[in-house]
Amino acid sequence: MDALKTTPVEDLAEDEAAAELARLAKAIAHHDRRYYQEDAPEIDDAAYDELRRRNSAIEARFPHLIRADSPSQRIGAPPVAAFGKVRHAVPMLSLDNAFDEEEVAEFVRRIRRFLNLGEDAALDFVAEPKIDGLSATLRYERGVLVQGATRGDGSEGEDVTANLKTLQDVPLQLDGDAPAVLEVRGEVYMEHEAFAALNQARSQAGEAVFANPRNAAAGSLRQLDPSITAKRPLRFFAYSWGEAEPKVTGTYGGFLERLRGLGFRTNPQTRHGSSVDDLVAYHAELGHHRADLGYDIDGVVYKLDRIDLQERLGFVGRAPRWAIAHKFAAEQAETTIEDIQIQVGRTGALTPVAHLKPVTVGGVVVARATLHNQDYIQEKDIRIGDTVVVQRAGDVIPQVVEVVAQLRPEGTVPFTFPDRCPVCGSQAVRPEGEAIRRCTGGLICPAQLVERLKHFVARDAFDIEGLGKLQIPQLHEAGLVESPADLFRLASEPDRKAKLLELPRWGAKKVENLLTAIEERRRIGLDRFVYALGIRFIGEVNAKLLARHYHDLDHFREAMAKVAEGDADARAELEAIDGVGPKLVEALAEFFAEAHNLDAVDDLLTYVTVVPVEAPKAQATSRLAGKTVVFTGTLEQMSRAEAKARAEQLGAKVTGSVSKSTDLVIVGADAGSKAKKAAELGVEVVDEAGWLALAKG
C-alpha cells in the first residue's frame, strides 16, 4: 500500500486509477473482515481511514470508475421510488416444522424410506440454529456481488441490492477463486443489543418502536433509502445457495467451510450429528443457551449433510424433504380476557377472538388471541373475565391455551356462541361433524365480501400495492368496490376515480399510484389467479399445483366445469394430482357450480389476462415431459415416493390408475392388474431398468 499512497490522486492516470480502485476494494474488504468478523485487525484505525479516504478521493476524480464492489457503496446508494422485482432462478424455500422428538424421528425415517435405506445405514446431518430474521439471497458473478434480493413469495422477491451492500457481513467481492455464478442465501437479522439501542433512539425521537428484532431487521432492510439501512446494524449468516455455476457438490458441512473461505459468516453453533439422539441433544443444549446467543432463534434446523442425497430427496410443496426445523416450545404468559368477539372470515367462518389485557409474550405485546371455535371455548370453559395462559410460537397467531381456574372472579357466565352472523344477521350454521359455524350470507355478507377482496389484493394473489387491510373496507363502505372486477373499474371508469379522490386520505398522488398499480396487474399468472379466487383449501401451494397441472386458464376452467358437473374422469384427474385431497376437490366443485362465482370470474376476465404458468425447465428435454405415467409393482432401486417425485420433476403427470389417457406404465416386481390392463389397452410398458434410464433425464 505504501507505494500506492505516494502517487498523489491528482497525478493518477485513468488506467492507474482503475487498477488502484480494484486493489483498494480488495484491501478494504480484507481489513473489514479482519475487524468485523474475526475481531483481529491488522492495521490501526488511522491507516484504515486513510485507505477509505484515498478510495473516495479517486472515485471523486473518476466517478465513472466506481466499482460495483467499491467500499463506498456500503454507505448507501441514493433512494429509489420502489423496489424492483427479482425472479429467483432457484426458488427460495421454507422448512417444515417438527415440534418433538417423535416428529424428528419420523423425519429421519421418511428420509430412509424415500432413499430405500436400511435402518442402520449411516446418515449424517448438520444441525444449526434457526435464526429469527428474514432470508435474503446474494448473487455473485465472477466473484462480484451483482444483486441482492429478499425472499418475497419464494419465487419472486424485491431487489434490495443497494441495501444489502451496506451490511458489513456481506462481501462485495468474494475471496479466493471466484465461481462463474454463486447465489449465497442466508438470514438477515439484528442482535439484541442493537435492537434495544435502536428502539431507545426511536422512542426518544418520538418514533414508533419495533415489536421485535425480526421486524426491526425487516423494516431496516426494506428501506427505499439505503442510507437508512446503512445506519441500522444488520447482520448476515450464510446457510444456503441458489443458482451456482459450477454446481455445489459434496457435503453441506463442506459448503459452509467454503462459504467462510469466500468471506461469509456462518453460524459458529453449527454441529454434526448422525442420530436422532444427537440431533435432539443439540436442540436441548441450544435451548438452554438460547438467551446467551445475543440474537433471536426460534428453533434449530437439521439438514442432511450429503448434497447428492439432498438432490434425490427434492421437495414437497415449498419445503425440502432433506431438512426440517425443530422448533422450541412456545412462550407463554398470563393475562385476563376483557371481551370475546366474533370475526367473520372470507369463507364465512365465525372465529371467536379473545380481547386481552395487553401482555408481553416472548418480547411481543399481545392484545388478541384466537379461541379457534365454539367447541374450544366450551371444552375449556373460557369466559369473559377469566385469567388465561396465552401462548405464542413464531409467526403463528397467539392462542389461549388454558384457564387459570383458581383466579376466576365471581359472577362470570359461560360464553354463548351466536347462531347468527354478527355482521349481516344471516343464520350461522354448523354442519354435522364440523367444528366451524359459518355465516350463510355468502356475498350479501359485507364481512365475507370484504375479506374476499382483501384476499384478492394480497401479496400472493393480485398483489395490488396501496390496497390492504385498511383501504379495502373503506372502498367497500363508500360503495366503490363490491367485486374483484370493480377494482379494475376504478382505473377505467372516470366516475369511480372522481369518487375515490373525494375519500379521506386519498390525495391525487396516492390515487394515481393506486391506479398504476392496478393497471400493472392486468396480466397475471394462472397460479396467482387461482389463489386469488379465495376458494376454500386453496393456499399458495395448491394453487401452484393446479396451475402447473392445467397450465392455462382455458384448460383449468374446462376441467373445473366438468368437475362441478360430476364428470368422473375430470374428478379422477384432479384427485390424482399429488397433494390434492378430497376436501379440495369438493371445494372446487362447489365453487364452480355456483353461477354467481362464474359471473364474477367472467366479469373479472373482461379486465384481466391470465398467463399460463411456465413449465418447469426439465420438461422441454425429457422424454417424460407432458406424459401421463403410472407406477405399479415394487421397484428395487428406488422407493415409490422417489420415483414419483423424479417423474414429476421431469414433467410427467403421475396418476394411480391405467386408462386410455395413460402414456406409460412402469412395471416393478409383482405387478398385478395394472400391468395387465396396460397390455389390454396397448399402453407402452417399461420395466425397472427402462425406468432408471428414463429417470436420468
All three cell numbers of 432, joined, read: 354435522
What is the phi/psi pair of residue 305, to 5°? Answer: -75, -40
Pairing of strands 85-87, 156-158: antiparallel
How many residues in total does the chain contain?
697
**Judged by CB under 6 A, which of 55, 72, 135, 597 binds ligand IVH?**
135
**Binding string, residues 325-354; x marks residues near ligand IVH by CB under 6 A:** x-----------------------------
605 binds ligand IVH (CB under 6 A): no
Return the range that interacts with ligand IVH (CB under 6 A); candidates 46-54, 87-95, 219-227, 684-692: 87-95
**Binding string, residues 15-54; x marks residues near ligand IVH by CB under 6 A:** ----------------------------------------
Q: Between residues 76 and 213, which has the closer beta carbon with respect to ligand IVH?
A: 213
Return the range that interacts with ligand IVH (CB under 6 A); candidates 126-134, 169-177, 330-338, 665-673: 126-134
Closest approach of Cβ 394 to ligand IVH, in Å? 9
Closest approach of Cβ 33 to ligand IVH, in Å? 21
93 binds ligand IVH (CB under 6 A): yes
Q: Between residues 270 and 597, which has the closer beta carbon with respect to ligand IVH?
A: 270
Q: Binders of ligand IVH among 174-213, rule CB under 6 A?
A: 187
Closest approach of Cβ 137 to ligand IVH, in Å? 11
**Judged by CB under 6 A, which of 20, 32, 69, 128 binds ligand IVH?**
128
Closest approach of Cβ 330 to ligand IVH, in Å? 16
- Residue 336: enclosing H or E segment and its boundaries? strand 331-344
**Judged by CB under 6 A, which of 37, 94, 227, 266 binds ligand IVH?**
94
Q: Between residues 87 and 623, which has the closer beta carbon with respect to ligand IVH?
A: 87
Closest approach of Cβ 134 to ligand IVH, in Å? 6
Q: Between residues 239 and 529, which has the closer beta carbon with respect to ligand IVH?
A: 239
Closest approach of Cβ 221 to ligand IVH, in Å? 12
Q: Between residues 95 and 276, which has the closer beta carbon with respect to ligand IVH?
A: 95
CA distance 86 to 95: 21
Torsion of CA 595, 597, 598, 602, to 10 degrees: 140
Q: Which residues contact 92 (CB under 8 A, 6 or more apart)?
A: 135, 137, 151, 152, 154, 157, 185, 242
Return the range that interacts with ligand IVH (CB under 6 A); candidates 127-135, 256-264, 337-345, 368-376: 127-135
618 touches 626 (CB < 8 A):
no
Q: Between residues 95 and 423, which has the closer beta carbon with respect to ligand IVH?
A: 95
Q: What is the DSSP letter of 416?
A: P
Rounded (5°) CA angle 577-580-586: 120
Closest approach of Cβ 128 to ligand IVH, in Å? 5
Q: Between residues 299 and 651, which has the closer beta carbon with respect to ligand IVH?
A: 299
- Residue 214: enclosing H or E segment and its boundaries? helix 213-221
251 touches 305 (CB < 8 A):
yes
138 binds ligand IVH (CB under 6 A): no
Closest approach of Cβ 299 to ligand IVH, in Å? 9
End-to-end CA gap in the chain: 53
Name the CA radius of gyration of the chain, rounded. 29
Q: Which of 265, 228, 237 is nearest to 75 (CA)?
A: 228
Cα 420 to Cα 340, 353, 413, 427: the distances in Å are 16, 16, 20, 4
**Judged by CB under 6 A, which of 301, 371, 450, 457 binds ligand IVH?**
301
- State the residue number with the nearest CB to ligand IVH: 135
**Judged by CB under 6 A, which of 130, 232, 454, 562 binds ligand IVH?**
130
Closest approach of Cβ 303 to ligand IVH, in Å? 7
Q: Between residues 252 and 529, which has the closer beta carbon with respect to ligand IVH?
A: 252
- Preceding peptide of 246 cis, ω within 30°: yes
Classify 127 in phi/psi space as left (phi over 0), alpha (psi -120 to 50) or beta: beta
Q: Between residues 325 and 390, which has the closer beta carbon with respect to ligand IVH?
A: 325
All three cell numbers of 485, joined, read: 372486477
Q: Binders of ligand IVH among 210-239, rule CB under 6 A?
A: 239
Q: What is the DSSP letter of 159?
A: B
**Judged by CB under 6 A, which of 323, 570, 658, 665 binds ligand IVH?**
323
Closest approach of Cβ 291 to ligand IVH, in Å? 18
Q: Between residues 94 and 351, which has the closer beta carbon with respect to ligand IVH?
A: 94
For ligand IVH (CB under 6 A), the number of binding residues is 15
All three cell numbers of 613, joined, read: 404458468
**Cβ burial 248-275 (10 Å sphere, 16+ → b, else e):** beebbbebbebbeebbbbbbebbbebee
403 binds ligand IVH (CB under 6 A): no
Q: Between residues 330 and 445, which has the closer beta carbon with respect to ligand IVH?
A: 330
Closest approach of Cβ 306 to ligand IVH, in Å? 15
Quick count: other Cβ atoms within 10 Å of Cβ 403? 17
Residue 369, beta-bridge partner list: 354
**Judged by CB under 6 A, which of 163, 220, 240, 632 binds ligand IVH?**
240
- Residue 216: enclosing H or E segment and its boundaries? helix 213-221
Rounded (5°) CA angle 539-541-543: 70
Active-site residue set: 130
439 touches 423 (CB < 8 A):
yes
**Judged by CB under 6 A, which of 12, 25, 104, 131 binds ligand IVH?**
131
Return the range that interacts with ligand IVH (CB under 6 A); candidates 20-28, 129-137, 241-249, 431-439: 129-137
200 HSE (CA, 13 A, CB side): 6
Match 443444549 to its residue by C-alpha cell. Answer: 285
Match 364440523 to its residue by C-alpha cell. Answer: 434
Q: Between residues 76 and 152, which has the closer beta carbon with respect to ligand IVH?
A: 152
Q: Which of 328, 393, 319 is nearest to 98 (CA)?
A: 328
**Binding string, residues 447-486; x marks residues near ligand IVH by CB under 6 A:** ----------------------------------------
Cα 292 to Cα 192, 289, 333, 362, 394: the distances in Å are 10, 5, 21, 15, 19
CA distance 160 to 183: 14
CA distance 624 to 694: 8
- For CA atoms 597, 600, 605, 606, the dihedral sign is positive
Closest approach of Cβ 131 to ligand IVH, in Å? 4
541 binds ligand IVH (CB under 6 A): no
Q: Using CB under 6 A, list all residues that contact ligand IVH.
A: 93-95, 128, 130-131, 135, 151, 187, 239-240, 301, 320, 323, 325
